Structure 1
Amino acid sequence: MMHAITHLSMGLGWDPAHANGRHPRRRDIDLNAAALSFAGDNFVDVAYHEQLISRDGALRHLGDSVTGEGDGDNEVIVVDLAQVDPAVTTIVFLVTCYTGQRFDRIANGFCRVTDNVTGIELIRVDLDSVGAHTGMVVGKLHRPHQDWAFTMIAQPINAQHVVNAVPQLGVYLH
């Protein structure tokens, strides 16, 4: 019997841009993780690099990386479903490239969603598989019955910022 999802995280990682002979001036790569909550079709709240905690406290962005330096997850969003506003029906996970590089140009970029109770990685997506895009809808938490369920989406979008992505998310809310 599967347990209900109650607490999970989305991790995002990538390697920094490096200068080379042809491109002596490197341009930092700034990927951004975001979790957006919706009530039906209506946007409710977000946790991302400009707002680290949603108003209900359920979505927490643990800090912005602007270069990809370091091993493992460079950005993490934690979701505590016990704190989600009861009006929220869907939480969408999103990755965008604020500096505009396409995912197929980013070294070792990945995104993963982990059930924090069991430690099981629910999905892992290598960003280069997304191709020539600057954004990706990773997946969503939704309530098909009473308990929350996670559905992988892994669909590319063209968005460098959360604001550009919101109008493209409606198709994933049902």
Structure 2
Amino acid sequence: LGWGMKQVQSKGFLGFGGGTRQESVDLDASCLLFDTSGNLVDTVWFRQLESRCGSIRHSGDDRSGGGEAGADNERITIDLGRVPASVQALIFTVNSFSGEGFAGIPNAFCRLVDDATSSGIARFDLSLEGGHHTGLIMTKLYRHNNEWKMQAIGEQAEGRTFHDLLPALQPYL
């Protein structure tokens, strides 16, 4: 999937949710911070809820999914104006920590939203696009000519945490 590039405003969030299912499903959102050399310098995920600089925050781990239709089960909030200049790119991923393929999770989605306008920038319907994969490299925000740009990725991968997706996301650094 590719929606090309889009200029990104100063504040936004990544959120995702899913429909109901008999068994609990643990989907996890992560934000990976990379420097200009492509080195991973920080991570925001369910085991670290805030970046060291404080510009990125995770709402906390929702281990069961479900909830209201269309509502976010987990949310990562970003203040791009506070991201250190040494950070060149942010890559957002979603993983099925419990190991279910996305196709088996009703109405699962992830989305990138401009917080100021509440307008959607990108959305992936994981149930339709995810197949039996357990990971998705969703999108990349990166610096270009003193602005933040967005590149939609939509790369399916296998893995229960962002660590498992690191080899698959190397081409995007």
Equivalent AA in structure 2 for residue 29 of structure 1: V
Runs of 4+ in 1 over 6 A off after TM superposition: none
Unaligned 5+ residue runs, structure 1? 19-25
Of 34, 49, 53, which aligns to 2:50?
53
Q: Which residue does 1:43 correspond to in 2? A: 40
Which protein is bigger by CA-based radius of gyration?
1
Give runs of aligned pairs for residues 75-94 of structure 1, distance below 5 A: 75-94=74-93
Deviation (angstroms), 1:163: 1.6
Deviation (angstroms), 1:84: 0.7
Q: Which residue does 2:66 correspond to in 1? A: 69
For residues 147 and 118 of structure 1, the distance between their equivalents in structure 2, rounded to whole angstroms, comes to 18
Q: Which residue does 1:7 correspond to in 2? A: 11
Compared with structure 1, are the counterparts of its residues 4 and 94 closer, same or farther at alpha carbon in structure 2 (3 Å cutoff)?
Answer: closer
Equivalent AA in structure 2 for residue 33 of structure 1: A
Compared with structure 1, are the counterparts of its residues 4 and 138 closer, same or farther at alpha carbon in structure 2 (3 Å cutoff)?
Answer: closer
1:32 equivalenced with 2:28 (yes/no): yes
Equivalent AA in structure 1 for residue 172 of structure 2: Y
For residues 106 and 124 of structure 2, the distance between their equivalents in structure 1, rounded to whole angstroms, comes to 13
SS in 2 for 1:166: helix
SS in 1 for 2:147: coil
Deviation (angstroms), 1:4: 5.3
TM-score by length of 2: 0.90
User: What percent of counterpart residues are identical?
Assistant: 34
For residues 102 and 157 of structure 1, the distance between their equivalents in structure 2, rounded to whole angstroms, comes to 10
For residues 138 and 102 of structure 1, the distance between their equivalents in structure 2, rounded to whole angstroms, comes to 16
Deviation (angstroms), 1:166: 2.1
For residues 33 and 103 of structure 1, the distance between their equivalents in structure 2, rounded to whole angstroms, comes to 14
Q: Which residue does 1:165 correspond to in 2? A: 165
Compared with structure 1, are the counterparts of its residues 13 and 4 closer, same or farther at alpha carbon in structure 2 (3 Å cutoff)?
Answer: closer
Equivalent AA in structure 1 for residue 12 of structure 2: L
Equivalent AA in structure 2 for residue 60 of structure 1: R
For residues 74 and 59 of structure 1, the distance between their equivalents in structure 2, rounded to whole angstroms, comes to 17
Equivalent AA in structure 1 for residue 143 of structure 2: R
1:138 equivalenced with 2:142 (yes/no): no
Residue by residue, what CA displacement relative to the aligned partner does 1:108-141 show, whole Å, maximum 9, x if unpaired?
1000100112221011110021212000011010
Compared with structure 1, are the counterparts of its residues 165 and 115 closer, same or farther at alpha carbon in structure 2 (3 Å cutoff)?
Answer: same
TM-score by length of 1: 0.89
SS in 1 for 2:77: strand
Aligned residue pairs, count: 164
Equivalent AA in structure 2 for residue 36 of structure 1: L
SS in 2 for 1:70: coil
Is the Cα–Cα contact under 8 Å of residues 58 and 83 in structure 1 kept in the other structure? yes
Compared with structure 1, are the counterparts of its residues 149 and 102 closer, same or farther at alpha carbon in structure 2 (3 Å cutoff)?
Answer: same
